[in-house]
Amino acid sequence: MTSTKLIKNFLCENEVNLLKDYCRIMHRQNKGMMMAHYSDFNSSFYGDPVMESLLLNKRKAVEKEVNLKLSPTYSYFRVYTFRSDLPKHKDRPSCEISVTIHIGSDGTPWPLFVEDKKYETQPGDAIIYRGCEVEHWREPFEGDWHAQTFLHYVNFDGPHKEFYMDKRRMWADAK
């Protein structure tokens, strides 16, 4: 895989509806780690069992898109709120192949920038990129809420293969 890909309708409508409601319920119940960053209050969830299942079940679809055999590492989802941002960064080795999926939002556009290219998504769309190689970021969010899930993989035969399961003992283990 050499370039970033936008995959429209990576999740079907039923998957989007289920995951959108799930993310909003988890956020409202403060089930995750609240991230107070500047003026935003995001709920963050590492290794959530539902998203770990998505990570495992979408592996074959991601392999087809990147033309590599992949090992899953971890899932992460976050519900962003007003004025949230994502500073320009590269990811750690467990994120060799990253998939950012728009789960749902209040409808306010919030593009992801990957190497200076702007990607606009709708619920169910995914962006696949090399997370630890390319800089990616988001500008401050002007809406009320935006839910994203992140699925991370490594090349099965690649230099980061030891990060299978993010070096955890079992799926949905929060380390």
Q: Quote the pLDDT of residue 172.
A: 77
Q: Are 155 and 97 in contact (CB under 8 A)?
A: yes
Q: Show the tokens assigned to 65.
A: 């898109």
Q: Are 170 and 77 in contact (CB under 8 A)?
A: no
How far, in Å, CA of 147 to CA of 145, rounded?
Answer: 7
Tell me the pTM. Answer: 0.93
Q: Are 41 and 34 in contact (CB under 8 A)?
A: yes
| pLDDT lower than 70: segments of the chain | 1-2, 31-41, 174-175
Q: Which residues pair with 33 in a beta bridge?
A: 44
